[in-house]
C-alpha cells in the first residue's frame, strides 16, 4: 500500500499523479538512506552524483527546457523529434496542438473583435469546431482565473514542450495552418455504386449526381438552367436551409443529397476561387466580392439563428412559483399519430412507452450527453 500523505501541498505546481510519484520517490530515498544502503546507480540515467543534491531525487525536479533530465546517452533515440514525445515508443506519433498565443488570439478575434467563426477559421487554418471549443475553454479558463482557482501551468508548459505546437504567426509572417479546414466526410448514401446511363447531349453535374444518389427525380430544366456552377447553390442553401428538397415518406424521408460544393464547411472559398479566375488581375475586386458575400452569409445565418431561438422560446413556458425552490419549464408537445406512431409506441415519441422494453442497459447504449447545448 502506498504511504498516506498527510501534508497538504498546493496542487498548482504539478498534477496529482506526478506529484505523488515525486513524493513517493523522495520517501523511498529517505527510507533507503535510513537503512544506510547507498542509492543504486542506474545505467543510462543522466546527472552525475556530484550534480545531484543530497536527496538525489531533487536532481530530477527541474529540467533544462526542451530536453529531458534523464535518458541522456541514448544514441539510437532521436530526442529532437517533437512528434514523438516518448522516443522509445516509435508508434506514438502526436498531432500538433495550438500554442497558448494562438488559442488566445482565437478568443480575441472571436469574442473581442466579434469576427465570425467562419472567418477566423479561414484566417488561422483551424477547424470551425475547434474554434468553437477553444472559445468555450478560454472563457472557462478566464472565469476560473477570476475566481482565483489555481492553474496547472507547469503541467501545461511541460506538455507543450513534449509535443509539436502550432505557433501564432508574427506580424507579416505567413500563418502556419493547423489542420485542413475544408474536409468533407463521406456521405453514407454515396457509398453505393449506381449505374445511371445519361445521354451525352445532357449536362450531368454534381447536383444531378446527388439527386441520383438520394433517389430524387431529375431537376426541371428551368431550375437547372439557372445554376451555372454547383457552388451557386451554396448561398441559396445558407440563406434558406429549408429550400433543400425532401424525398421519401414517413421514416424513410430524407433530404436530397447536395453537391460537395454546398456541404463543405467553407463553401465561400470555392466561390472566392472562382472569382479569382474570373478577375485574374483585380485583387481589390475579388476581395470586395468576398467580403460582401461573407457579410451577406453572416447576416443570413444570424437571422436564422435568431428565428430558431425565438421559435424554441415560444414553445417553452417558464413558470417561477413564488416561494418554491424550483422553476418549471412547460414544453408544448404534440401527441398525435404522426408524432408517436400509429400504436403510440414510436421510439422517437415523447414520454415512456408501454409494453416495450426500455433497453437502457443493453450494450452500446449511450447514456452520457453527446452534445453541448449552444
Site residues for another protein per CB under 8 A: 143, 317-321, 323, 325-335, 340, 344, 350-352, 354-355, 372-374
Q: For another protein, which is the closer residue by CB, 189 or 339?
A: 339
Q: For another protein, which is the closer residue by CB, 43 or 372?
A: 372
C-beta of 323: minimal distance to another protein in Å? 6
C-beta of 339: minimal distance to another protein in Å? 9
C-beta of 311: minimal distance to another protein in Å? 16
C-beta of 315: minimal distance to another protein in Å? 10
Contact call for residues 108 and 290 (beta carbons, < 8 A): no
State the Cα–Cα distance between residues 261 and 270, nearest whole angstrom: 7
C-beta of 330: minimal distance to another protein in Å? 5
Residue indicated by cell numbers 400504436: 343
State the Cα–Cα distance between residues 35 and 289, nearest whole angstrom: 80
C-beta of 357: minimal distance to another protein in Å? 12
Cα 348 to Cα 40, 223, 247, 278, 345: the distances in Å are 66, 36, 20, 49, 8
C-beta of 352: minimal distance to another protein in Å? 4
Q: For another protein, which is the closer residue by CB, 222 or 332?
A: 332
State the Cα–Cα distance between residues 370 and 340, nearest whole angstrom: 24
Main-chain phi, psi angles of 312, to 5 degrees: -65, -45
Q: For another protein, which is the closer residue by CB, 1 or 334?
A: 334
What residues contact residue 128 under an 8 Å CB cut-off, 6+ apart? 117, 118, 121, 181, 265
Q: For another protein, which is the closer residue by CB, 35 or 354?
A: 354
What residues contact residue 203 under an 8 Å CB cut-off, 6+ apart? 224
Q: For another protein, which is the closer residue by CB, 175 or 344?
A: 344
C-alpha cell read off for 113 = 473583435
CA atoms within 13 A on the CB side of 1: 3
C-beta of 63: minimal distance to another protein in Å? 39
Q: For another protein, which is the closer residue by CB, 4 or 314?
A: 314
Q: For another protein, which is the closer residue by CB, 342 or 372?
A: 372
What residues contact residue 178 under an 8 Å CB cut-off, 6+ apart? 96, 98, 102, 124, 125, 126, 127, 130, 166
Name the nearest CA neighbour of 80 among 177, 164, 160. Answer: 164
State the Cα–Cα distance between residues 17 and 6, nearest whole angstrom: 16
DSSP 124: H
Count of C-beta atoms within a 10 Å radius of residue 182: 14
Amino acid at each position: 500500500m502506498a504511504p498516506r500523505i498527510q501534508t497538504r501541498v498546493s496542487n498548482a505546481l504539478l498534477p496529482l499523479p506526478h506529484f505523488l510519484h515525486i513524493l513517493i520517490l523522495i520517501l523511498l530515498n529517505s527510507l533507503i538512506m535510513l537503512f544506510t544502503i547507498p542509492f543504486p546507480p542506474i545505467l543510462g540515467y543522466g546527472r552525475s552524483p556530484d550534480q545531484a543534491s543530497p536527496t538525489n531525487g531533487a536532481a530530477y525536479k527541474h529540467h533544462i527546457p526542451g530536453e529531458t533530465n534523464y535518458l541522456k546517452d541514448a544514441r539510437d533515440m532521436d530526442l529532437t523529434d517533437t512528434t514523438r514525445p516518448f522516443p522509445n515508443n516509435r508508434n506514438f506519433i502526436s498531432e500538433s496542438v495550438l500554442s497558448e498565443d494562438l488559442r488566445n488570439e482565437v478568443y480575441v478575434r472571436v469574442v473581442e473583435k466579434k469576427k465570425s467563426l467562419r472567418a477566423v477559421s479561414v484566417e488561422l487554418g483551424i477547424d470551425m469546431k475547434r474554434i468553437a471549443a477553444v472559445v468555450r475553454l478560454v472563457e472557462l479558463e478566464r472565469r476560473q482565473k477570476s475566481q482565483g482557482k489555481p492553474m496547472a501551468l507547469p503541467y501545461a508548459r511541460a506538455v507543450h514542450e513534449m509535443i509539436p505546437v502550432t505557433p501564432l504567426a508574427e506580424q507579416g509572417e505567413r500563418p502556419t495552418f493547423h489542420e485542413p479546414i475544408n474536409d468533407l466526410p463521406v456521405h453514407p448514401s454515396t457509398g453505393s455504386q449506381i449505374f445511371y446511363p445519361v445521354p451525352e447531349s445532357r449536362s450531368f453535374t454534381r447536383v444531378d449526381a446527388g439527386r441520383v444518389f438520394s433517389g430524387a427525380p431529375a431537376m426541371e430544366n428551368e431550375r437547372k438552367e439557372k445554376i451555372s456552377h454547383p457552388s451557386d447553390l451554396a448561398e441559396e442553401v445558407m440563406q434558406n436551409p429549408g429550400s433543400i428538397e425532401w424525398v421519401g415518406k414517413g421514416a424513410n424521408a430524407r433530404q436530397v443529397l447536395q453537391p460537395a460544393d454546398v456541404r463543405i464547411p467553407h463553401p465561400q472559398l470555392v466561390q472566392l476561387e472562382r472569382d479569382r479566375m474570373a478577375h485574374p488581375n483585380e485583387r481589390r475586386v475579388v476581395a470586395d466580392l468576398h467580403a460582401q458575400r461573407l457579410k451577406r452569409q453572416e447576416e443570413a445565418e444570424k437571422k436564422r439563428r435568431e428565428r430558431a431561438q425565438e421559435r424554441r422560446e415560444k414553445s417553452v413556458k417558464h413558470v417561477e412559483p413564488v416561494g418554491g425552490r424550483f422553476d418549471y419549464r412547460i414544453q408544448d408537445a404534440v401527441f398525435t399519430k404522426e408524432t408517436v406512431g400509429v400504436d403510440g409506441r414510436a421510439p422517437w415519441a415523447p414520454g415512456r412507452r408501454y409494453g416495450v422494453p426500455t433497453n437502457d442497459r443493453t450494450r452500446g447504449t449511450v447514456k452520457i450527453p453527446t452534445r453541448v447545448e449552444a
